[in-house]
Chain A
């Protein structure tokens, strides 16, 4: 036995396990996406069993592509994922840089900042949509009402009243509507995941070389130049990690969409899969394959973009 064989042999169980872990669900999805397979059919009871004799070729894919919600779902998936990535990275960097300086109460502030991450997604969604974003009972409704009352009162005031009478009455935004429900999802997930980004960026900032900063100060770099030329490149890798992990998680968002609008005008791919899977497993599997392809494309482009701009 050569000295390479033993380590290989010892690795084998893990590798085999991982292979099955990935391959079995993927190949089953592939298989189901090419056959007719439904959970319930009184007319064609033979379709309720997965079987090669129900082969449908690309029929399921065609069916999905022709579905009126499919394009919307892809657009929505991309919109939601990209917006969340954008905002969490920006807020994450800002907050991490801010709390990286030492100040009194630092420990408590850090714990508080991390805490949203420990809220369950479904609870997070319920809290946001009912208590904060609700146009009547939520903070938003109360705030808008309060503002309106203040403006109303100012209109009565002498001298400056005319100025405020030019202002329109504010109306609260309903975040359950077709056009706005995606925004609600973006807001609540950004709130929940910013701490994750902060956490990763903060650890990275602590390993930043202080002498490089001092050298830069002597070289005449101001705060912005130090951030742009030293800190940001230093954060390149952590940003890539945050983006990759979040992209994987948020492409499969489900709970928030269900709770905010039940997918009303706001479906993403997983939600569409869920709808199909109520009965049509074949179509759901085909959508699943589309989701896998989309995830790969997104990952590919994101990685290239980050690699290009930050790691010069």
Chain B
């Protein structure tokens, strides 16, 4: 079991109110991702759940037990830190065994569980090394191993992949997803990378300045963002926002069109502009288009075969069924 409920939780550091009253329920076995811009309180929220920070007010409930005043080690949660936080003077084996050693698990069982974790994480050859002699990806795996052996009710990850290079990040992302499929344990994962959020999550929590902007499945957030902030945050490249007369045609203050929902043409279309930069990724091409009279820059995602050069005139047509409309307060109009 691992159902985590936050009720009216707030957190202030002195005068800085980082988390205003916040309610959130994370169901058992769910892979929940907290996303949001830097400094929005993702780590703080995670640390509140872990017990590393005390709540200023409100209740944290894990499996129907109020743990607000319970010490971190008694909450049965395991955390993986961005900086790995491995114990530098201990070998990988001792690092992984440390939580069991603290819990007084018999040596033979410790050894067994360390081996099992090491096997599943491909660490068997490195058990006698110190963390300093491992690569970033291996260190991250050790940190995960240390979390696994505790058999926690929930895993907490604080940007675990942000110190890794791009290729490794994709690999580890898959491994963590597979681990979740296998173990079915509740996981809370903090990231500011919306690709990680979209690919891994069962449920995404979008935060801004400590406030939950929207909670939902990745596709819900992509298809029906509740407001402009979520619309701009989820999806890559970012959604184009158009205000003024064009938006008024749709009966909205602002309209949002995703780059992948715009068709390009050399001779006819609804809007016209000049290509400023075209980025060829092979499979796709991104065009950054100026002088449309709609917004500073319109970004379009077209097929990899489409080719326009700098300065070319380009015609754009949005897919009308997926144009997002927002009112003056930035909320979605349905």
A-side residues, CB < 8 A to B, are: 209, 211-212, 214-221, 225, 229-230, 233-234, 236, 311-312
Contact = CB atoms under 8 A, between A and B. Distances in A.
Contact of A218 (B78, B86, B87, B89): B78
9 contacts: A211-B83, A214-B81, A215-B86, A217-B72, A217-B73, A218-B50, A219-B150, A221-B102, A233-B88
B85 A209 contact: yes
Interface string B62-106: 000000000011000111010101111110000000110011000
B139 interface: no
Given A233-B88, A234-B89, 6 more contacts: A215-B86, A218-B77, A219-B99, A221-B98, A225-B102, A312-B90
Q: Interface size bucket, B side?
A: 20 to 34
B81 A219 contact: no
B52 interface: yes
Contact of B81 (A215, A220, A229, A311): A215
Interface in B144-178: 146, 150
Nearest to B75: A218
A220 B85 contact: no
Contacts of B102: 219-221, 225
Contact of B73 (A209, A212, A220): A220
A214 B52 contact: yes
Contacts of A312: 89-90
Contacts of B51: 218
A214 B89 contact: no
A215 B85 contact: yes
Contact of A229 (B52, B90, B146): B90
A211 B73 contact: no
B77 A212 contact: no
Contacts, number: 59
A218 B103 CA distance: 11
B79 A212 contact: no
Contacts of B89: 229, 233-234, 236, 311-312
Nearest to B102: A220
A212 B87 contact: yes
Which 8 pairs from chain A and chain B are nearest by CB? A233-B89, A220-B102, A219-B99, A215-B85, A220-B73, A211-B85, A212-B85, A211-B81
Contacts of B90: 229, 312
A311 B86 CA distance: 16
Contacts of B72: 217-218
A234 B50 CA distance: 25
Contacts of A216: 87, 98
A107 B307 CA distance: 67
Interface in B279-308: none
B149 to A, nearest CB: 10
Contacts of B99: 219-220
B83 to A, nearest CB: 5
A236 B98 CA distance: 20
B132 to A, nearest CB: 12
Nearest to A210: B85
A217 B150 contact: no
Contacts of B79: 214-215, 218
Contacts of B103: 220
Contacts of A234: 88-89
Nearest to B80: A215
A214 B50 CA distance: 10
A297 B83 CA distance: 42
